[in-house]
Amino acid sequence: MHHERIAILDYGSQYTRLITRRLRELGAFGLVYPPGATAEEIGGGDLRGVILSGGPNSVLEDGAPGIDPKIFELGVPVLGICYGQQLMARDFGGELHRSTQREYGKATIRCQGQDSVLFAGMAGEQVVWMSHGDHVEKAPEGYAVTASTSTVPVAAMENRSLRRYGIQFHPEVTHSVNGSALLLNFLEHCGMALDWNAGHFIEEKVRQIRTQVGSGRVVLGLSGGVDSSVAALLLHRAIGKQLTCVFVDHGLMRKNEMKQVQAYFAPFDLRVVCVDASDEFLDKLEGVTDPETKRKLIGSTFIDVFDREAKKIAADFLGQGTTYPDVIESSGIGGAVLVKSHHNVGGLPERMKLKLVEPLRELFKDEVRKAGLALGLPEDMNQRHPFPGPGLAVRLPGAITRERVRILQEADAIFLEELKTSGWYAKTSQAFAVLLPVQTVGIMGDERTFEFMCALRAVTSEDFMTADWARLPHELLDRIAQRIVREVKGINRVVFDITSKPPATIEYE
Ligand code: XMP
């Protein structure tokens, strides 16, 4: 089955993937192509429209990426955004204003075209998001100027008979208040059916995975998190028994984690190899206190164990649940800084000489969850908080010992259980217990105690780059503290962390 599609030519803007995301939200499927794609490559019976993205270059520079003129003869509407609009202005005889300074941030445009296609249903002034150097000074002949600002005379232009449209601002960024409405106007103008959904995404991916993998074998590291679980189910849907999942228990998992993961996947007929490597990890970690050393040790041991298991499977491909935010984070796109060494993606593919299959690469987190639901992933699994690759190691400041791991697992399990029964788990983005390397005096019955202190962390966050502490009710905190001190041998004091990120991080190491 082929689905009708918008082709997006990517001129390098950091927002290109947001365009595809907005289209999906509106029920349309958009496929991203490199800037040099030809009309032949993007054309075809199911093409309904073309979007030219923004980009960091100036169209006036030598060697600036251009556009195959035959794309304008494909008979579908074309929308140029920022760089895309400037490219159209350049190639069709408009005038450009060259600027070395970038205008960046919110701007107010005045819509002028009464019967504009893009601004249908919108009147007067609109707040939009701008990010550009050059701008179009004069629209090409035959193009009506449909919006402007005090500094940008051609903030939008259109040629209705040729069905070509240009805008200087970024409708895909949420700061552009009517951005989605504008994109919807364009999609309707293209005649899109707007029926794209998670089910279609799955069909499309299943087809792609089959083409890529053929009769090869895929091994996937199943962590029990949402991303790797959804990737596993999607690959399983596509290639069935050609997929083997490997779950490595490094001994720093939450309480009963391996059993839980097995139970979640039992109904799916998925091949899951569970490896209990906790002794191997904990032996190496014995006495290690430095946070980065812990992470590196866990990372390299994980690769050893996983590699050993994968060799038994003789896999040709490594499946990974990489999502779009991971892609940004590991490449530093959009100014993301690598604060801590993440072991999840690094090292494994190179070492194993396997080709990658990453079916979730263009999805955002909430979209991964939608795909998970459509694939039948149980609701509570689908709504799980993220759990760091190095596990409880980063929640055990100081020395890691088997006893301290056990104490933390018990306290954490009580915390999570109480959050779930009170309905607060779903209202927080991440919550966990931390075992501090501090012993304090207490009194239990007639006896004086000298035991560890437990910190509870619960945060709300959009993207985990910033976070606020969750305002848990005092009665709930009281119940949790009482239970932990009563039920967990080794803890006699509980504190609740009220620091936001920044300045603190979410994890303790
Ligand atoms: P921080 O502590 O940096 O955490 O505020 C932000 C988010 O990243 C997770 N995190 C990790 N995830 N490997 C992971 O897979 C790691 O080494 C790691 N360190 C932090 C953390 O749980 C939070 O969601």
Residue 27, in any domain of the structure: yes
pLDDT score, position 45: 76
The contacts of residue 128 (CB under 8 Å, 6+ apart) are: 106, 107, 108, 109, 155, 169, 170, 171, 175, 176, 177, 179
Residue 507, in any domain of the structure: no
**pLDDT-based confidence at 480, cuts 50/70/90?**
very high
Ligand 1 touching residue 501 (CB < 6 A): yes
Residue 434: which domain range?
Answer: 401-496
Distance of CA 488 to the CA centre of its chain: 36
Residue 423, in any domain of the structure: yes
Q: Let me know whether 175 and 281 are in one domain.
A: no
CATH number for 418: 3.30.300.10
Residue 392, in any domain of the structure: no
Q: Let me know whether 22 and 137 are in one domain.
A: yes
pLDDT score, position 330: 62
Q: Of residues 343 and 37, which shows the higher confidence score? A: 37
Pairing of β 468-469 and β 447-460: antiparallel
Ligand 1 touching residue 388 (CB < 6 A): yes
Q: Let me know whether 227 and 369 are in one domain.
A: yes
Q: Report the nearest atom of ligand 1 relative to the CA of 295.
A: 17
Q: Going by CA atoms, what residue is nearest to atom 19 of ligand 1?
A: 388
Each residue's pLDDT tens digit, 75-93: 999 999 999 999 999 999 9
Q: Let me know whether 216 and 126 are in one domain.
A: no
pLDDT score, position 341: 39
* 319 vs 349: CA distance, rounded Å: 10
Q: Let me know whether 332 and 409 are in one domain.
A: no
Q: Let me know whether 47 and 164 are in one domain.
A: yes
CA dihedral 179, 181, 186, 190 (to 10 degrees): 140
**237: part of which helix (H) or strand (E)?**
helix 226-239
pLDDT score, position 383: 92
To the query of whether residue 362 is one of the catalytic residues in this protein, the response is no
Q: Let me know whether 374 and 471 are in one domain.
A: no
CATH number for 359: 3.40.50.620
- Average pLDDT over the chain reads 92
**80: part of which helix (H) or strand (E)?**
strand 78-81
Ligand 1 touching residue 295 (CB < 6 A): yes
* 136 vs 171: CA distance, rounded Å: 17
pLDDT score, position 346: 55
Q: Going by CA atoms, what residue is nearest to atom 9 of ligand 1?
A: 388
CATH number for 125: 3.40.50.880
Q: Let me know whether 179 and 204 are in one domain.
A: no
**pLDDT-based confidence at 343, cuts 50/70/90?**
very low
Q: Report the nearest atom of ligand 1 relative to the CA of 461.
A: 24
Q: Let me know whether 368 and 416 are in one domain.
A: no
483 burial class (0-12, 13-18, 19+ CB within 10 angstroms)? Answer: middle
pLDDT score, position 328: 67
Strand partners, 274: 247
The contacts of residue 293 (CB under 8 Å, 6+ apart) are: none
Q: What phi and psi, each to the nearest 5 degrees, are found at residue 35? A: -60, -25
Q: Let me know whether 129 and 101 are in one domain.
A: yes
Q: Let me know whether 344 and 456 are in one domain.
A: no
Q: Let me know whether 319 and 212 are in one domain.
A: yes
pLDDT score, position 113: 64
**pLDDT-based confidence at 426, cuts 50/70/90?**
very high
Residue 505, in any domain of the structure: no
Pairing of β 47-52 and β 5-9: parallel
Residue 178, in any domain of the structure: yes
